Amino acid sequence: MDKLRAIDSRMLMGPGPSDVSPRVLEALGCPTIGHLDPQFLTFLDDTRDMLRVIFQTKNPLTLAVSGTGSAGMETCVVNLIEPGDKMLVCIAGVFGMRMAEVAKRTGADVTTINVPWGQVFDEDQVAGAIDKHGPFKVVGIVHAETSTGAAQPLKEICKVVHDSGGLALADTVTSLGGMQVSVDGWKIDACYSGTQKCLSCPPGLSPVTFSPAAQEVITNRKVPVQSWYLDLNLVCQYWGSERVYHHTAPINMSYALYAACRLLLEEGLQPRWRRHMVHHQALKGGLEALGMRYLADPDHQLPMLNAVAAPDGVDEASVRSRLLNEFNIEIGAGLGEHKGKAWRIGIMGESCTRRHVEACLGALGLILSEQGVTGDAEAGVAAASASYSAWQAEPTAE
Amino acid sequence: MDKLRAIDSRMLMGPGPSDVSPRVLEALGCPTIGHLDPQFLTFLDDTRDMLRVIFQTKNPLTLAVSGTGSAGMETCVVNLIEPGDKMLVCIAGVFGMRMAEVAKRTGADVTTINVPWGQVFDEDQVAGAIDKHGPFKVVGIVHAETSTGAAQPLKEICKVVHDSGGLALADTVTSLGGMQVSVDGWKIDACYSGTQKCLSCPPGLSPVTFSPAAQEVITNRKVPVQSWYLDLNLVCQYWGSERVYHHTAPINMSYALYAACRLLLEEGLQPRWRRHMVHHQALKGGLEALGMRYLADPDHQLPMLNAVAAPDGVDEASVRSRLLNEFNIEIGAGLGEHKGKAWRIGIMGESCTRRHVEACLGALGLILSEQGVTGDAEAGVAAASASYSAWQAEPTAE
């Protein structure tokens, strides 16, 4: 296994996976036990309780799907939608497009509305689409659009969805654990996330939660869920007190998610959100000092995902390659219409530290100054440093 | 994380998961890196090459699905079947029933044939069903039926399927790595497995392979695959040279599968199959010496999964409980029509050793003699010991 031992550790500053704590890696390597072993079932129970705190919900139907975030998206759609049901998808980037595609394959009658990439929806736009083309059984939207770095105003949009009698479906893959996601407070009916972003757990599971109204829809379906693997009416008999075998739960990944949730709650939700904001401000200051421009509406910029245009004349792929190979820093490429033109810099969970921000700005400054894009290789780090000083000087509200 | 450190290790002798080697657990805990990191992509390539050896195939379309074995089953069905396609499913236990259910949800026109649990199909039965109700686009069968312990004659059945112009789909979740599975030799068109049985890797991935004929069917579909997550036309662009992002691969689980495949190939396929047979014979001798009766046709008994009737008057659940709580040995309960009446004892991969066999027989003998079921608590271990001696005395054919 020399090849495994020779893996070069990276600073993971792309759109996910993010760095994983040694405590979570240790959890991964704990002895595998059976999926019906009473010892294991207590981990499921504890994880569900912690996921409820993280999602800020009391929803009974809260669990981790045995697949990555995209499996979570599909789980929500296939369980809520029956063939011919009307669904509205709000598209502001790649992951909104994906949701619409998943919905079409489920037999939904899909309507889409769009804003330019990097922009956000106004609740009136959504209300207008519902008035014109609805009502819709489900309205889906991506909270934190990983392809652009923009945060959609979820609370306001959920309100107009409910006013129309629909169910609000939210993708919080990138936001959960790095900024507020208030499932009960914002009245989100179905919500899915991923483990490999701000939860800082390896990829492989997808936390999901459903409101009682959504659960009722799932329970009272006329047609079976098209996916047997993702059928929550079956899966929840295993997560529930019945413990009926459905499929073999991913034991060791479940340990990892348990450990990652523990770490998150030890830190606390608010301190963690604040941490993401502090380092985002520093990173933003640094990137702008190096001459970079953000792609998203500045009033709705995500803290954990920073999508910036690659400077004119720079071969973005070769810069990413140098960051990876010379500095062991991974950042993400542009996706969709930003392909070849942008970088996506993630500061998620364990990757959201001053060490990460300054290492990334330092390396980027060096490479860009060598290419003559910026005159001052240190400008990024200096700006970040100033930002950190300003935060430290500021009296906290607590 | 005290709770994780306090996990009682078990001897996993149920229907899976099986014991996991410390080398695989070590692999799981290696640093998480990105799914597009060139370092990680070499693990995917190596794992694919090793899976081809293990499946005994040259199929280009060979990969690990990001879900458990049931996700592999669903992947095969949803990619091969379009709504209205005719599919025959041969049912001899719970997992055949599951395949039929998955197929129905995919919109297949499903015909089923059955044999009593524990029995196997004769190829003439399958040919007869094809003549009467076919032809079928796909004929599905479970090679190693985990609910009964019977091995279906896959080679013969694949032949009659091909003679009729159909595609042969085989579930090798329990058999792969513990007995011969010859995808090219037997002309299996689509084959899925799981990681947590004879590969002795934690649950979470499903190796799959498709013949060129099956791949052509998938490529030339008229209707998109109903599952976006499991759509091989998309997934294989990531596993192929294009490396197009589809979903974030389960990085650390992929390390574990890589390590488990390495261990398997270090041992060698034939020695590993022989090992499963040697320990099966010993276990079988021991269980029968304790008065137990196998549920499957003795001519088609699986080596790695031993389903036996619980002796009359014994509360099977309390025996399993005692094995788990007093001896840290997990065995499986009966499934489906055997529920409450049988035990399923797995000797899979790392759980297939003399230590496991004798520990299980010793503990079972003790408990059953306390209940007055058997007069000689040591009879099981003695019979196993005699079986091992007979193997050692036998000249090997090599």
Q: Do B105 and A29 touch (CB under 8 A)?
A: no
**pLDDT value of residue A394:** 73
Q: Do A105 and B252 touch (CB under 8 A)?
A: no
Which chain A residues are closer than 8 Å to B331 by Cβ? none
Nearest neighbour of B226 by CB, restricted to A10, A29, A105: A105
pLDDT in tens, A149-204: 999 999 999 999 999 999 999 999 999 999 999 999 999 999 999 999 999 999 99
In chain B, which residue's Cα lies nearest the Cα of A16? B34
**What is the pLDDT confidence band of residue B374, given thresholds at 50, 70 and 90?**
confident
Residue to test with chain A: of B2, B4, B8, B222, most A Cβ within 10 A: B4
pLDDT at A398 over 50: no
In chain A, which residue's Cα lies nearest the Cα of B1? A259
Residue to test with chain A: of B11, B32, B68, B325, most A Cβ within 10 A: B32
Q: Which residues pair with B208 in a beta bridge?
A: B63, B192
pLDDT in tens, B195-220: 999 999 999 999 999 999 999 999 99
Q: In order of start, what are the domains of chain B with their CATH numbers? A: 22-266 (3.40.640.10), 269-393 (3.90.1150.10)
**What is the pLDDT confidence band of residue A374, given thresholds at 50, 70 and 90?**
confident
pLDDT at B397 over 50: no
Nearest neighbour of A74 by CB, restricted to B228, B246, B248: B228
**What is the pLDDT confidence band of residue B398, given thresholds at 50, 70 and 90?**
very low
pLDDT at A397 over 50: no
Helices (H), chain B: 2-5, 22-28, 38-55, 69-80, 94-105, 123-133, 154-163, 212-219, 232-239, 251-267, 269-289, 316-327, 354-370, 379-393
Q: Do A259 and B4 touch (CB under 8 A)?
A: yes
- Token readout for A270 is 């608010």
CA dihedral angle for residue A193, residue A197, residue A198, residue A199, rounded to 10 degrees: 70
From the CA of B392, how many Å to the nearest CA of chain A? 32
Contacts of A51 (CB under 8 A, 6+ apart): A62, A63, A64, A207, A209, A261
Nearest neighbour of B30 by CB, restricted to A4, A106, A204: A4
Q: Do A26 and B28 touch (CB under 8 A)?
A: no
Q: Do A248 and B68 touch (CB under 8 A)?
A: yes
Judge residue B13's burial from the number of C-beta atoms within 10 Å of its C-beta, 0-12 exposed, 13-18 middle, 19 or more buried. Answer: buried
**What is the pLDDT confidence band of residue A132, given thresholds at 50, 70 and 90?**
very high
From the CA of A28, how many Å to the nearest CA of chain B? 6
Contacts of B266 (CB under 8 A, 6+ apart): none
β-strand A86-91 against A109-114: which pairing, if any? parallel
Q: Do A258 and B16 touch (CB under 8 A)?
A: no
From the CA of A247, how many Å to the nearest CA of chain B? 6
In chain A, which residue's Cα lies nearest the Cα of B23? A1
In chain A, which residue's Cα lies nearest the Cα of B17? A34
Nearest to A254 by CA among A67, A57, A8: A67
Which chain A residues are closer than 8 Å to B7 by Cβ? 30-31, 33, 39
Nearest neighbour of A204 by CB, restricted to B1, B34, B253: B253
**pLDDT value of residue B395:** 62
Q: Do B229 and A71 touch (CB under 8 A)?
A: yes
**What is the pLDDT confidence band of residue B154, given thresholds at 50, 70 and 90?**
very high
Contacts of A396 (CB under 8 A, 6+ apart): none
Contact predicate A365/A383, CB 8 Å: no
Q: Do B29 and A29 touch (CB under 8 A)?
A: yes
Q: Which residues pair with B342 in a beta bridge?
A: B309
CB pairs under 8 A between A and B: 222
Q: Do A34 and B17 touch (CB under 8 A)?
A: yes
Q: What percent of chain B has pLDDT over 90?
A: 95
The highest-confidence range among A47-61, A232-246, B231-245, by mean pLDDT, is A47-61
Q: Do B252 and A202 touch (CB under 8 A)?
A: yes
Contact predicate B91/B227, CB 8 Å: no
Nearest to A251 by CA among A58, A64, A393, A60: A64
Nearest neighbour of A67 by CB, restricted to B46, B194, B229: B229
Q: Do B203 and A330 touch (CB under 8 A)?
A: no
Q: Do A10 and B37 touch (CB under 8 A)?
A: yes
Nearest neighbour of B34 by CB, restricted to A17, A27, A31: A17
pLDDT in tens, B303-327: 999 999 999 989 999 999 999 999 9
Cα within 13 Å of Cα(B5), Cβ side: 4
pLDDT in tens, B73-118: 999 999 999 999 999 999 999 999 999 999 999 999 999 999 999 9
Q: Do A229 and B70 touch (CB under 8 A)?
A: yes
pLDDT at B282 over 80: yes
Contacts of B52 (CB under 8 A, 6+ apart): B58, B59, B62, B209
- Give the predicted TM-score (pTM) of the model: 0.97
Which chain A residues are closer than 8 Å to B9 by Cβ? 31, 33
Nearest to A195 by CA among A180, A175, A173: A173
- Token readout for A391 is 């935060």
d(CA A323, CA A331): 8
Contacts of B8 (CB under 8 A, 6+ apart): A33, A39, B328
β-strand B206-210 against B61-65: which pairing, if any? antiparallel
Chain mean pLDDT for chain A: 96
> What's at B388, amino acid-wise?
Y
pLDDT at A396 over 60: no
**Model ipTM value:** 0.97
Which chain A residues are closer than 8 Å to B248 by Cβ? 16-17, 68-70, 194, 196, 203
Residue to test with chain B: of A97, A105, A229, A258, most B Cβ within 10 A: A229
